Amino acid sequence: MTEIANSKKLLAGLHSRGGLPHLKREGGTYFVTFRQAGTLPGAVLNRFKREREAILAEALAAKRPLTWQEREELFRWYSARVDRHLDAGHGECHLRRPECAAAMADALRFFDGNRYELRTWAVMPNHVHAVVRPKPGQTLSRILHTWKSYTAHEFKRLIPGLVTPFWQAEAYDHLIRDDADLHRCCHYTVMNPVDAGLCARPENWRWGSAWHTGGETPPEPAGGTPAPQV
C-alpha cells in the first residue's frame, strides 16, 4: 500500500527528498533544473539551505502543499541565488564540452512528443533547465531519471577518468500555475545563456531550444541520437 501511495504522489501531491519539496499535479507543466555534482561551494549551499528552510518550514510541518505565494518565493530564491552561482561556472563544467552538450541535448529531445512535451530547454556549462509537461501516465521523476541516467553513462564514455556521480542527486522543480507563469519560465530558460554571458541572443546558443526555433517558440518533436530506455 505504501508503494502505491508513493507512486500516486509522483503523479499528484507533495513529497520531499533531500529537503526540497516536490509538488506534483497530473497534467501539470514544470520548470526543472538539475546540475552537476560539486558545482556549489559548501558554504554557499549551507547559506541557501537556511534561506530555503525558512520558506519551507511552515508548509512541511503542516504537511500541506506550498501556497502559490510560497512557491513563487522559492522560485525567486532559486533563480536569484542558486542560478547566479551556477552561471559563475563553479565545478568542472563538463557540459561546456560540445560532445557532452550534444549528448545532453539529444537526450532531452529524444522522447519529446512521446513521453512528454518539451516547451523550452537550455544546456548550460554545469546545469540544465527545461520546461516540460509529462504525458498521461508518465512521471516527472521518471523522466528526470532517464535523462540523468542515460547521460551519466554517455559522459563516462566521453570523458576518460570521469569522477562519478556526475549529477547532483536531487533536482529542483517548480509546478507552473498559469500562462503568465509558463511564459516567465520559458523566457527565463531561453534567456539563461544570454544572462550568463555565453551569447548575445538566445537563438545563438547551440545547446538550447531557441537555436532550433529562432526564439522562444516551443520546438517541434525531434529525435536525435537514440537513447536507451533506462
Q: Average pLDDT across each block of 10 residues of the chain; the chain has 230 residues. List them in order.
A: 43 44 70 88 72 72 72 70 77 92 97 97 96 95 96 94 86 87 92 94 96 63 35
Q: Is the dihedral of CA 114, 116, 121, 127 positive or negative?
A: negative
In a domain, 227, yes or no: no
Residue 73, domain extent:
2-213
Write down the residue that cell numbers 557540459 correspond to: 95
Q: Which three cell numbers stand for residue 228?
A: 536507451
User: Which CATH number fits the domain that encloses residue 71?
Assistant: 3.30.70.1290
In a domain, 224, yes or no: no
In a domain, 28, yes or no: yes
In a domain, 163, yes or no: yes
pLDDT at 20: 47
Q: Which residues contact 93 (CB under 8 A, 6 or more apart)?
A: 36, 39, 125, 126
Q: Smallest Cα–Cα separation from 130: which of 29, 33, 25, 201?
A: 33
Number of domains observed in the structure of the chain:
1
* Beta-bridge partner residues of 35: 127
pLDDT at 83: 77
In a domain, 182, yes or no: yes
The letter for the amino acid at 197 is G
pLDDT at 57: 76
pLDDT at 182: 92
Query: For the whole model, what pTM was predicted?
Result: 0.75
In a domain, 62, yes or no: yes
pLDDT at 193: 95
Q: Smallest Cα–Cα separation from 124: which of 87, 155, 159, 150?
A: 87
In a domain, 219, yes or no: no
Q: How far apart are CA 186 and CA 190, in angstroms?
A: 6
pLDDT at 213: 86
pLDDT digits (tens, 9 = 90+) for 91-123: 789 999 999 999 999 999 999 999 999 999 999
Q: Which three cell numbers stand for residue 184?
A: 516567465
Beta strands in the chain (DSSP E): 13-17, 20-24, 30-35, 116-123, 127-134, 172-175
In a domain, 223, yes or no: no
